[in-house]
Chain A
Amino acid sequence: AQSVTQLDSHVSVSEGTPVLLRCNYSSSYSPSLFWYVQHPNKGLQLLLKYTSAATLVKGINGFEAEFKKSETSFHLTKPSAHMSDAAEYFCVVRPTRAGTASKLTFGTGTRLQVTL
């Protein structure tokens, strides 16, 4: 079984300040982890992915995430928020066990608000 917990449903930051979106996971197998971003009435865009290579993963638009197995966490960070970062962010886990590789489990999402 697997699950994803996004600890904050809503995060508000000022433009130019750091962003931290928290994600904890549980998985019976070594997981692949993803962060997706969704703008209003749009589909999901992949920000970054962890697939058992480097634990610090760099993604698009200046985002990065660190896989910490001991803490079962995969928090998303960005040094300086931009107004265009305002969106919904989803942490997603996928097991690597054969036969289930495609079945994703989504977190409940974190809405990021960026203020002037």
Chain B
Amino acid sequence: GAVVSQHPSRVICKSGTSVKIECRSLDFQATTMFWYRQFPKQSLMLMATSNEGSKATYEQGVEKDKFLINHASLTLSTLTVTSAHPEDSSFYICSARDRASGNSPLHFGNGTRLTVT
């Protein structure tokens, strides 16, 4: 089945530094990928929609200058948390849809646990 690989699975960084998270579709092409944030014991909140070759679409309240998204190819999207602060600590999950499968479900990565100290 379709596999989405997310890397790293865990990262600890110091306050003020930037962290890049990668999301790859391993066996399919994805023109659109999605980035979610999940707080402990809560549901997923959509942060932004990443579109291959164009600018990402951010949800209301999400700072685009803080959460930089790049979708340079049909199999890779990256989320960079810039100048990270402890309040950015969270679980980040990406998802993607196979562009060849029409209205198929989204496939999710295994998530990245970010801890900012």
How many A residues face the partner with a CB closer than 8 A? 22
Chain B: which residue is nearest A103 at the CB level?
B46
Interface membership of chain B positions 31-45, coded 1 if the CB is closer than 8 angstroms to chain A and 0 otherwise: 010100000011110
A107 and B11 alpha carbons, distance in the complex (Å): 27
Chain A: which residue is nearest B10 at the CB level?
A41
Chain A: which residue is nearest B4 at the CB level?
A43
Chain B: which residue is nearest A36 at the CB level?
B108
Which residues of chain B have C-beta atoms less than 8 A from A41's C-beta?
Answer: 9, 91, 111, 113
Interface membership of chain A positions 58-88, coded 1 if the CB is closer than 8 angstroms to chain B and 0 otherwise: 0000000000000000000000000000000
Which residues of chain B have C-beta atoms less than 8 A from A90's C-beta?
Answer: 43-44
In whole Å, how far is A110's beta carbon from the nearest beta carbon of chain B?
10
A43 and B46 alpha carbons, distance in the complex (Å): 14
Task: Indicate if the CB atoms of B105 and A49 lie closer than 8 Å.
Answer: yes
A102 and B101 alpha carbons, distance in the complex (Å): 13
Task: Indicate if the CB atoms of B108 and A107 lie closer than 8 Å.
Answer: no
Known: A41-B111, A43-B109, A102-B32. A32 touches B103 (CB 8 A): yes
Interface of A is mostly: loop
Task: Indicate if the CB atoms of A43 and B108 lie closer than 8 Å.
Answer: yes
Task: Indicate if the CB atoms of B49 and A102 lie closer than 8 Å.
Answer: yes
Asked if B110 CB lies within 8 Å of chain A CBs, one says yes
Chain A: which residue is nearest B109 at the CB level?
A43
Task: Indicate if the CB atoms of B43 and A107 lie closer than 8 Å.
Answer: yes
Determine which of B9, B49, B108 lies in contact with A44 in the assembled complex, contact meaning CB atoms within 8 Å.
B108
**14 A-B residue pairs with CB within 8 Å:** A36-B108, A41-B9, A43-B6, A43-B110, A43-B111, A45-B108, A46-B105, A96-B103, A102-B106, A104-B34, A104-B46, A104-B106, A107-B43, A108-B42
Residues of B participating in the A interface, judged by any CB pair closer than 8 Å: 4, 6, 9, 32, 34, 41-44, 46, 49, 91, 93, 95, 97, 103, 105-111, 113
